[in-house]
Structure 1
Amino acid sequence: MQLNFKQIGDTGKPLLILHGVFGFLDNWLTIGKAISEHGYRVYLVDQRNHGRSPHEAPLNFPTMAADLREFLNQQNIGSPILLGHSMGGKTVMEYAVTYPGSFDALVIVDIGPKAYPIHHTKILKGLNAIPIGQIENRNQADEILSEYEPLPGVRQFLLKNLYRKEEGGFAWRFNLPLLTTDMANVGAQVKSNTPVGTPALFMRGANSNYILDEDWEDIVKLFPNAQLKTIEGAGHWVQADQPKAFVSTLLEFLDGVI
């Protein structure tokens, strides 16, 4: 599969970033540029069924990890730093346990390897309630979605995926039918009988409940060389809530292990 991507910087250590569910690479442009200014060659990648990458089943982490492996081979990227947020973090962890020794560091943002229950049901109902072939503008979509999601920031994030087609009308960047049927796979547990000893940073938002204190014991069983950093004033979207703290925490970790 040919994944859509954007490269920022021509030299330096390769650092690849994977977005979360309902996201796409544009969400990470500001952060990617900030990281590249510190000597890293940054790759922002749309995962399958998101952004401008192909819409193709299945939607599961073994497949998305294989997509990542294929992308690295296609671009001739060796020994990268792999960073993933939420669903992207799960992909990175699945890659790590499947292809150990092929990367130099992991950065996992506000997600753990444990299984998570489906919690996007209401959002999916709202997205599916939008008559994509009939709306004339974004405001109409936002009005419908507001009946299911009260937070304007979340709706704005979701509606960034709404685009106007060349022939007229709107479409989604993500594969909404597949996300609707297979969302349970996005919460699947990452398992392995063999620990991955590569340096890893788990970064969580202080206002998020995705990585709990009691999760840490199981995390270090799988990633024994991991460290945990909590970003104050941040929720699940750590990089958006506290971008300066996110970048400084990331660079401090990389300075110590690369």
Structure 2
Amino acid sequence: MTITRSETLHTLHIGDSGPKVAFCHGVFGQGKNWTTVAKALASGQEPTYQSLLIDMPNHGRSAWTDTFSYESMADQLAEFLEPHAPLALVGHSMGGKAVMNLALRYPHLVERLIVVDMSPVHYHGIRQFNHLVDAMTSLDISNLPDRRTAEEMLESQVPERSIRQFLLQNLHRENHPEGPKWFWQPNLDMIAANLDSLAGWEGPDGPPYDGPVFWIGGAQADYILPKYADEMRRLFPRTRQLMVKTAGHWVHSEAPEIFIPAIRRFLDQPNHNGVAVTGAR
């Protein structure tokens, strides 16, 4: 595993050989959340794949920005990924909208696309992430003794233990002479100020993306619904879809035994030129 840092995006590189696949996480995620998937793709059956696990802007160890838009996020990704292109892209939630925007605006960079539990629509009335932002910003970390205490403090607002632990991966500690200091890695203020934009979708003008697209979603979530199908097909006509009955929004971590074989099958299949994904090696 190697670490690559551009001026803006922090990235883990897993795998020694094979085509490259870039992974883009959702709100409050980090590139390392894809480690289990990346290691599975890097070993076992042939072909193996190299994975670029990207910390998205304002998350993990990547740089913060003053404003938010999916267009600017796609621009940052395109600049970073161009030396590796064309390659397969995987995006979950916020990352899903970012890679959809990128594929529509920079189709020459994208060999194929995997969108995880997200549609190219504006989600009016979905308040889940508002609640999580409120929980994180209201947590008093100024005199926090340890991470376990932080989890106990979050429990009343975030009763699901798996989601609490997901949020707390963003809580980090630095040692100072006067004692440890805790801080949140994500740019919480910017995220809180742009929740409507995060839920939104403004697709670029232009032709649809004509490469193969695989939607994989959690049937227990509300992000991929039949009413969104027409827009999905209009923008991405070469699409296929899998809904995992047992999973919610974080389908890749909730059902890896289904998710990993499914995306491997898609990656292994020939593309529209009749050859398997090649990408930069």
Structure-2-length-normalised TM-score: 0.87
Matching residue within 33, 36, 40 for 2:39: 33
Taking only the aligned residue pairs, the percentage that are identical comes to 33
Judge conservation of contact 1:86–1:109 (CA < 8 Å) in 2.
yes
Aligned twin of 1:134: 143
- Structure 1 gaps, min length 5: none
Give the structure 2 partner of residue 52 of structure 1: 61
Shift of 1:151: 1.0
Distance 1:149 1:94 in 2: 31
Amino acid at match of 1:185: S
Counterpart residue number, 2:279: none
Q: For 1:220, give the aligned amino acid.
A: R
- Where does the alignment leave 5 or more consecutive residues of structure 2 unmatched? 1-6, 277-281
CA distance in 2 between counterparts of 1:166 and 1:5 reads: 25
Q: Distance in 2 between matches of 1:145 and 1:59?
A: 27
**Which of 245, 259, 266 is equivalent to 1:246?**
259
Alignment partner of 2:17 out of 11, 14, 39: 11
Name the stretch that deviates more: 44-53 or 228-237. Answer: 228-237
Determine whether 1:235 maps to 2:251: no
Pairwise CA distance, 1:182: 1.3
Offset at residue 136 of structure 1 (A): 1.7
Task: Give runs of aligned pairs for residues 115-126 of structure 1, distance below 5 A.
Answer: 115-117=122-124, 118-119=126-127, 120-126=129-135
Q: Deviations over 1:66-87 (max 9, x none)?
A: 11011113xx202110000011
SS at 1:184 equivalent? helix
2:162 equivalent to 1:149: no
Inter-partner Cα distance in structure 1 for 2:132 and 2:146? 19
1:140 Cα deviation from its structure 2 partner: 2.6
- Partners of 2:181 and 2:145 lie apart in 1 by 7
| 2:4 corresponds to | none
Does 2:214 match 1:201? Answer: yes
SS of match in other structure, 2:110: coil
Using the alignment, how far apart are the partners of 1:146 and 1:2 within structure 2? Answer: 34
Which residue matches 2:195?
Answer: 183
Tell me if the contact between 1:136 and 1:169 (Cα under 8 Å) persists in the aligned partners: no
How far did residue 146 of structure 1 move? 1.8
- Following the alignment from structure 1 to structure 2, what is the Cα–Cα distance between the partners of residues 135 and 81? 41
CA displacement at 1:187 relative to structure 2: 1.1
1:12-53 C-alpha deviation (Å, 9 max, x unpaired): 111000011010012111111111224111100001100011
Query: Aligned residue for 2:235?
Result: 222
* Residue in 1 that maps onto 2:115: 108
Give the drift of 1:206. 1.9
Q: Tell me the secondary structure at the aligned position of residue 84 of structure 2.
A: coil
SS of residue matched to 1:124 = helix
Amino acid aligned to 2:29: G
Q: What secondary structure does 2:39 align onto?
A: helix
RMSD (CA atoms): 1.4
Residue type at the aligned position of 1:102:
L
2:42 is aligned with 1:42: no
- Give, in angstroms, the shift of residue 101 of structure 1: 2.2
State the Cα distance separating 1:103 from its structure 2 match. 1.4
Q: TM-score by structure 1 length?
A: 0.95
Q: Which of 63-72 and 124-133 deviates more?
A: 124-133
Quick one: distance in 1 between partners of 2:95 and 2:151? 26
**Tell me, what secondary structure is at the counterpart of 1:201?**
strand
Q: Which amino acid aligns with 1:109?
A: V
